[in-house]
Structure 1
Amino acid sequence: MSLSLEQPNTALQRTGGRVLVKAYIDQVVRVGRTFTFEDGQFKGLASGRKVLFIRAVGK
């Protein structure tokens, strides 16, 4: 596969803002540290701490 001007370099695509936000969320949301899955239900483990809920919707 050859790289042309019409095809963006995938390494450059991975440096955008959305990728940085997802990387941050991946570091914060950890099974066994911030939540667990028991009896088919999610259970939060961050009780007693402040939580910021962010939701973004795009087209």
Structure 2
Amino acid sequence: MNKTLAEMQRKEFVYECASRALAASFSNPAAKPSIASMVRDADKLWEELQEWETLRQESQL
């Protein structure tokens, strides 16, 4: 996917991050992360990035 974060919807972002995490997990099968944890982590990352973006915009005012 070649969209910027600003162009993505939450579900798109979570899907993209979780699918990349799943692909990366195949290179280290000993880690055995769950898909649910990958989705939770991606969703949390979305929230943190949105918060960071809001703070960044407020600091530019």
TM-score (norm 2): 0.31
TM-score (norm 1): 0.31
User: Relative contact order: is structure 1 or structure 2 higher (C-alpha 8 Å, sep ≥ 6)?
Assistant: 2
Larger Rg: 1
